[in-house]
Structure 1
């Protein structure tokens, strides 16, 4: 049995790995010249750094477990520091604790970040009629209505912006913060629902990190996954785009931009929603229409290297977030060599950091040239963290349409798409556009898609994926 995987990001690589483990023949096709998608490493001043995703959620097991399967368990690293900050109202302020994606369980949890007026408004939640979320609601709208806009603008928005580069007033509560959505079905106030989520969250063991990285960067995870697929006999081709899909008597035929046509028993689409929609336009026009409606945000990462001797006092903590309401160019900064010992050890004389820019509906900074973007980032970093030195090297990485937006109704849209595709045997969708944007979510999405696909194929001497 032969399965084509379209897309060579972490989702497509995971799908290929699972299919090969189940005993199928796999061809993975990636339109760009490299595998890994938004998992990518590069070098700045000779130090290897992540240019895309730089950590995985360690408390969710899928990515960590897969790393063990491909021999990377010993490469997992915990952050050297976990304290972070938020740059708002003219100062770097410690990141509050005791909240769920910025929504507090008590007003005291946000002391120091909100004004006295903003803190006082949080108590309004208990005085209002019982909360109603219906089928879905925007996170920002709900929280602003119950607790005031300052909670959203100063904390919810930058936290959600760090994940989606999105607009909190449009992002779906059901898809982006599902635990809180579920809790609100059983509680009358946001405060009570947040406390219920906190009680239901298993406590962390001493020293257990929330996030983890890899020695050499998260990009090495994708590289090792691709190597594992090749070692199992998978055919991985980069620089080859699929231009069309059609059903055949055997299963599926994929038209390629180099003139070839590949036939297979099944297809896994691990590409962004818009690309999947274009490929499904002929066979599933209703699904294609839904997929075309998924919006995306673009962002840029500015990576900078400084001589430690030029900096004087080094910034503390792992980095900081920046609320959009403060109208800065950057939306976040990560102190790479402060956060990851492997990066600090690569050249002890350097301090490397990265700043990100670009939000949904505001891609203007991405249109600037690299020098302009670097200067703007340095201006913000200077004001926020006192960085006045000149960098010895810089690198700008643009991720155009890199982050899907989980707007209100996203879960229902995904369900409709999968319902339309249920009548097309041998075809499954997976990836960040559907089931979560983090690396563990992408691994889980691929594993689920492969499991469903394998069960629809004719029986043969195969094992279930993941066994």
Structure 2
């Protein structure tokens, strides 16, 4: 055996002797586990609940399996698609059929969101569709944006303060806030402009107005689909990851809650202890904080956040819309016709049925009352007299802030810096990477690469 062959054999043996314990079976944990397993490391994945996937899940309603959690991914960066291709799921890729965006909770009833906007900020306040939502008073106030001096690049990254200063309260309250709350669960005051809309500050400075910056930014955006999914939703991705881990001999366990992590590293379960060279914490934010707090000083307790999402199977074909409500105007933040967004789901339902999803601002404790409240609010938002509900359910889904949340990147960087200081310890998940598969997957790949490189090469 040559020296090179001997070195490779020693490296392979080292990998086989390295035990990796991944705590959490959402997408981040599954991806991190796969990255370690495919180089020969011995992997144990522990999921506290009875199913893998985290916020990705599906349930049977009216005889049809439908996604009730995360159901699509951004194509930006190509990271999710690369994983899809690696798992031989390319034939299942399906593009989104974008829904028409509307705003509810405005005078005169729901109205179409103006087409020429970024984060709800209008390029042209004189557009009749803008005037329909903010009225003449709002239009004239927004027009002052053209008369104000431009900002210096980077001077104001707070979305709320930027838009209120330049275009006024009505633009923020009736156009911007419905989108930031409905899509990300964030008030405009919590959104970092330069992360949510990269280049907008520069475009504002270049054009001299916020509206001009919006127009320029929209003109520079590439075309093509930006959201995809798989036939059957994202559950096939979870299933494929679990199968691939099985192919590599990984030990994947559900119903296995970790009580604590001891230095060394030792993972403590209720009736078992696992020694490991590498521990990857891939749990939700609150659970990760509980496990990491004894080992890294910067981790602080975090209240768990959830979205109360009601899925409705109804008779008929409601309009293909996603309706975003003005905060405080009603019991829901978003209503969307999911079956119109995903043609594969419409085909499975057949003619005469549709799936509507409504996100409640604060759900009643009684599930029946919550479903009834969501159905009534959805009919109003979609402009339908009443909905004939065939089947329904409510899911309380874990959430994490997007990268565009103010302070998110800095907080995540502090956690990562502290974790890097503890050899063999890693952390992944939406609470550090930002929400969305396009953020979660490459972050999990990078963290797994850091850990396995350190373990194998020092």
TM-score normalised over the length of structure 2: 0.86
For 2:182 and 2:237, locate their aligned partners in 1 and report how far apart those are by CA, in whole Å. Answer: 21
Task: Provide the secondary structure at the position in 2 that maps to 1:457.
Answer: helix
Contact map agreement 2:400 2:434 (CA 8 A) in 1: no
1:167: which partner in 2?
187
Contact map agreement 1:59 1:209 (CA 8 A) in 2: no
1:265-294: CA deviation from partner (whole Å, max 9, x where unpaired) = 21222222222221122221x2222xx25x
Instruction: State which of 330, 348, 353 in structure 2 corresponds to 1:328.
Output: 330
Task: Provide the secondary structure at the position in 2 that maps to 1:118.
Answer: helix
Contact map agreement 2:84 2:237 (CA 8 A) in 1: yes
1:32-70: CA deviation from partner (whole Å, max 9, x where unpaired) = 111000000011101111110122113441112211111
1:19: which partner in 2?
36
Aligned residue pairs, count: 436
Contact map agreement 1:165 1:358 (CA 8 A) in 2: no
- 1:298-447 maps to which residues of 2 (within 5 A)? 298-308=306-316, 314-325=317-328, 327-359=329-361, 364-365=362-363, 367-384=364-381, 385-399=383-397, 401-404=398-401, 407-447=405-445
Q: C-alpha displacement at 1:135, in angstroms?
A: 8.6
Return 5+ residue gaps in structure 2 as ranges: 1-17
1:55: which partner in 2?
72
* Cα distance change on mapping 1:262 and 1:108 into 2, 3 Å: farther
Contact map agreement 1:175 1:410 (CA 8 A) in 2: no
Q: C-alpha displacement at 1:177, in angstroms?
A: 4.1
1:243-278: CA deviation from partner (whole Å, max 9, x where unpaired) = 222332xxx22112x221112221222222222221
Q: Which moved more, 1:40-49 or 1:130-139?
A: 130-139
Q: C-alpha displacement at 1:356, in angstroms?
A: 2.6
1:227 has 2:240 as partner = no
Return 5+ residue gaps in structure 1 as ranges: 309-313, 461-467
1:3-42: CA deviation from partner (whole Å, max 9, x where unpaired) = 2111111111111122223332211111111100000001
1:195-217: CA deviation from partner (whole Å, max 9, x where unpaired) = 4543543x21xxx3221222112
Instruction: State which of 237, 240, 254 in structure 1 corresponds to 2:267.
Output: 254
* Cα distance change on mapping 1:387 and 1:280 into 2, 3 Å: same
2:284: which partner in 1?
272
Task: Provide the secondary structure at the position in 1 that maps to 2:175.
Answer: helix
Instruction: State which of 28, 31, 45 in structure 2 corresponds to 1:28.
Output: 45
Q: C-alpha displacement at 1:231, in angstroms?
A: 2.0
1:281: which partner in 2?
293
For 1:121 and 1:21, locate their aligned partners in 2 and report how far apart those are by CA, in whole Å. Answer: 58
* Cα distance change on mapping 1:389 and 1:99 into 2, 3 Å: closer
Task: Provide the secondary structure at the position in 1 that maps to 2:417.
Answer: helix
Contact map agreement 1:269 1:428 (CA 8 A) in 2: yes
Instruction: State which of 20, 40, 53 in structure 1 corresponds to 2:57.
Output: 40
Instruction: State which of 242, 254, 257 in structure 2 corresponds to 1:238.
Output: 254
* Cα distance change on mapping 1:145 and 1:237 into 2, 3 Å: same
Instruction: State which of 99, 102, 114 in structure 2 corresponds to 1:85.
Output: 102
1:99: which partner in 2?
117
* Alpha-carbon RMSD: 2.7
TM-score normalised over the length of structure 1: 0.85
